[in-house]
Structure 1
């Protein structure tokens, strides 16, 4: 039984709360986690499990108010709901692991109830009652907005487990999550005003980040603290463009003579943060006691930020694909390579920032690192995709942004036209590790070493990224962290024979990367004279649900063809729910009736021809798509193992 305490704190695992029923109060927002948050949580669990099955993994806090075996979940609903969905997927796979016990209380009731949004509780209960797969569970959620994110999360979880976790490890992995994943459970007094407390939690000030502590630690080892602090500040706001950050941090620079649309390394004679004759304010030993409070003039806003809002960029709002902590780690790896040192040990994770940077104490090296951070942040904004919101629809899309300096010495940011490098970066972003994006280390290093102020869409930039992608996709002997660091010094040998892999009948266990890589190649080589409106509107987006064109239910073909790469496409959850288990002919009609864009380009090649979709059609389509990928790798001179197959298919896309 739960003890009745005032603001109690316990370190718990899921096993310790098997008997507790959680109530989601009315003031809680709906479940809103997307692919990124779900992948981060579950993939981190699995990485920790692989590293040490006997060590604990800590994931944060939940806040409850408790009464016997019932607990009101004040904060932590998103995380706990995701854990429930993970347990459900383990249960559908009959893993036999202990984590399945958190689905219900010992008396058979659903683990969670909701003061409002009863359709959520009904949906979760129906999942258990029908023991549906994630693929089946996504149907019939379109009319219930509170269910759609849950259905998407369920599909994402199943995809991750199918792709990453061997069946033989399922039971042990589920037991690991149940016993070794730890949460801090804070318990409030019974008479606490929960609405007020919840409001306070969600409106509290910004928590001190590890990046702030790393900054402080590094600056403590050097002189010129203010100067290098300003360089750091120019890089850390990832929601703003670098040129605007730099202008704010170094307002006294002669901006008419500086062009940040070019690659400019930091130079303290060029970038100036104060007037040279400003007296004590230039003294590193200046303290608050030196201020003459009586003679201070009233504060006057310089108006610089307002000017920036109006003039500094046509595209004002953007969202980075990584956070500043992740950029620090990519930059530090590049720095270590340039210093002829080995990569940092252990996992690539922002939670380890303080530990990873603890060995960086030499003053001259710290300055070199921070100056390199300046250059790499500039390159990042110029060559890496960002999330940009449409001013009218407010819909976000990944874009590469061109930077231009105007006659008034301000900058404009406008999206490039859709390009191959935008598409390839989209593939890497959506199929890679959301938390790490390992491909950025070798790509930023390539740009740092070889770029000479070329356009982001320049062919040489694309070729550099294609080479990185090809090497990483076929390297099977090292993990991504080791491989991407080794790629900084030499080319990796290709090892994975993807033709053999894609000829298997893996069904939903196929890695999503190969579907998205194929989309990139089909788009890149599409026939110019067949670029329809649907094609022009097409983008590579997040897709996490593998659809069987020939439906699985009551299938009249053998499993080898049913689960073949030739019978599969990768769709979004909502697209998959539209098609469901409908006959192929119905799916073909639905596809052709769509006017905005193609679901996938692979779908186009399946549905463009009328006729029966049978085992022969599946084999032909599979072989054609594999040839498309073969042709791409054959262009890389290192791909010696590839067989001399292929032909003219790559010349006829969109025919």
Structure 2
């Protein structure tokens, strides 16, 4: 049978970076600028590194890119953010003089591997980076150009973020890690036919329905044999899955027939079908196509493209918006691990990753115990409730210009609606912030034992006196374990408090410079905040623990030859954001001190102890500051302080 002349044939192949040597890519006009920030970059690189550590010969898949050949170039129709991040990563390896095959990805025939159709300033900037890479001491050298062209800012920040991440990894492994990225990172490349309308295709990619996700396939498999209970348990799932909305709001929308005026969702409710009621399909008349499609997904497994229906909530609650620190797939994995412990089963094998959801949950599908599956759904409801009430979430400020991590208090009003207000800043908010910013964004292993503890104790609020000691214990144990990985420790902490030995003092007394793990700086910020004496200090009152990824030398590295001081000493270092670090740059200590004192808040509490208590910044004072900071950390861990 002859194909129609209008048939569009896409070529598909699985490739690694090494196999792209004959390609030169161009970002078309209609593509948005590079927008990835710390969270996306950190997720990608640390996932690469984790896969590399587990098995150096294994492949790691990063999804699909879509290209179209165009006069010697391949237009990047989809996948620009990942692709640009790979190029920036290759450049950082070159800048750090790490000998790896990955740097071959930077150029093709002495030209950039990746170009920009209309944003020639970005192309010029990347070319300038390559020509200056041997002499650059910092990716901040072109700062003036970046300020004049703001859309270059994310490129420049991305370079700094990647460099800081690479510097925290094992230096001796960086050559083979770079080679791993070059040969083992795999992607599916789809090549569009020449006669396709690219603008129309790109528009379709960004506006069409979503492809069936792994969470939906897991749902359908678990519901397959539940008979008449399918719809009920599907509703429980539906109430839980929107992580960027408050659980009470979701539950109201899904179980709209409940007597919500007599349900105080500020209190804990395990799921009760007599309490939480929904409108049955038989009562709702003819189903819309969206509803019918959603029901069909419950009853079968397939890989169809579909459009999710967005249930509108008629609640009059005085809502503020929120954004979760994890996605629904991650919540499912944490819930499943708690479920396994309660079923007296072992933890699932392999890595904790949402890309493995189907594989992980197939264990429960194979056990084919309908009562166990029902228990899991009920547990999911409980976990979703306590997660909403006791775990930090991103909340925008009044002008919706910035977000902060907050714990939210919910109050039932007389008219049956709810108001939500952030709790005042507290130790448990600060510690959760440290854990979120220093943990693997894709896992957040601390959540498994902490959520389980909350379910066991059912405290009335995040301010309960028992919560902080337990969370501190989780953090202390996970930060001092050398014999087990975080996944193993977190599962063990569901039932046991193991003893681990880690010589914190020896570690912090090592002259590691930018290789110090950022965790210890952030943990110190929490310890200092918790024990701060002047709680009415205006600058302290607005201080927050935030994402920081750049180690600053108080005595500048560039001037280390003028003193006997070891500038890489923990006492001479603070952790700042990339922008804060660039403000200080290579300025003299006295200049930094004056700028610090003129800030509205403290950029770090460790900096306060440096700039407030030292007239000069000599080798003696650096040593004294280090001794004091290490002593505070050891006291927190209940170690004997001999510094």
TM-score by length of 2: 0.90
In structure 2, what is the equivalent of residue 598 of structure 1?
602
Determine if contact 1:219/1:229 at 8 Å carries over to the other structure: yes
Of stretches 409-418 and 185-194 in structure 1, the one that deviates more from structure 2 is 185-194
Of residues 227, 236, 240, the one that matches 1:231 is 236
Pairing 1:400–2:407 present:
yes
In structure 1, what is the equivalent of residue 208 of structure 2?
204
Q: Deviations over 1:283-339 (max 9, x none)?
A: xxxx99xxxxxxxxxxxxxxx94632xx22332x11100000000000000000011
In structure 1, what is the equivalent of residue 465 of structure 2?
459
Determine if contact 2:319/2:420 at 8 Å carries over to the other structure: yes
CA distance in 2, matches of 1:537, 1:211: 39
Secondary structure of 1:500's counterpart equals helix
In structure 2, what is the equivalent of residue 555 of structure 1?
560
How much does 1:93 deviate? 2.8
CA distance in 2, matches of 1:23, 1:559: 50
Q: Which runs of 5+ in 2 are unaligned?
A: 1-7, 287-291, 294-310
Closer, same or farther: CA 551–76 of 1 in aligned 2, 3 Å: same
CA distance in 1, matches of 2:82, 2:121: 20
Pairing 1:431–2:431 present:
no
CA distance in 1, matches of 2:137, 2:276: 55
Determine if contact 1:399/1:422 at 8 Å carries over to the other structure: yes
Determine if contact 1:40/1:434 at 8 Å carries over to the other structure: yes
In structure 2, what is the equivalent of residue 20 of structure 1?
23
CA distance in 2, matches of 1:273, 1:606: 60
In structure 1, what is the equivalent of residue 637 of structure 2?
633
Determine if contact 2:13/2:188 at 8 Å carries over to the other structure: yes
Of residues 91, 94, 115, the one that matches 1:91 is 94
Closer, same or farther: CA 142–537 of 1 in aligned 2, 3 Å: farther
Aligned residue runs from structure 1 range 289-300, under 5 A: none
In structure 1, what is the equivalent of residue 64 of structure 2?
61
Pairing 1:613–2:613 present:
no
Of residues 489, 501, 524, the one that matches 2:507 is 501
CA distance in 1, matches of 2:409, 2:436: 20
CA distance in 1, matches of 2:626, 2:148: 36
In structure 2, what is the equivalent of residue 299 of structure 1?
none
Of residues 236, 245, 252, the one that matches 2:250 is 245
Aligned residue runs from structure 1 range 440-479, under 5 A: 440-452=447-459, 454-479=460-485
Secondary structure of 1:485's counterpart equals helix
CA distance in 2, matches of 1:160, 1:133: 21
How much does 1:514 deviate? 0.5
Aligned residue runs from structure 1 range 510-521, under 5 A: 510-521=516-527
Pairing 1:259–2:260 present:
no
Of stretches 68-77 and 27-36 in structure 1, the one that deviates more from structure 2 is 68-77
Pairing 1:410–2:407 present:
no
Secondary structure of 2:175's counterpart equals helix
Determine if contact 1:318/1:389 at 8 Å carries over to the other structure: yes
How much does 1:192 deviate? 2.5
Determine if contact 1:252/1:275 at 8 Å carries over to the other structure: no
CA distance in 2, matches of 1:50, 1:559: 38
How much does 1:447 deviate? 0.4
CA distance in 2, matches of 1:133, 1:243: 56
CA distance in 2, matches of 1:326, 1:458: 26
Determine if contact 2:576/2:603 at 8 Å carries over to the other structure: yes
Of residues 522, 529, 533, the one that matches 1:527 is 533
CA distance in 2, matches of 1:527, 1:221: 60
How much does 1:161 deviate? 2.1
Of residues 36, 49, 52, the one that matches 2:55 is 52
How much does 1:138 deviate? 3.2
Closer, same or farther: CA 68–168 of 1 in aligned 2, 3 Å: farther
Closer, same or farther: CA 276–210 of 1 in aligned 2, 3 Å: closer
Closer, same or farther: CA 521–318 of 1 in aligned 2, 3 Å: same
In structure 2, what is the equivalent of residue 342 of structure 1?
346
Pairing 1:419–2:413 present:
no
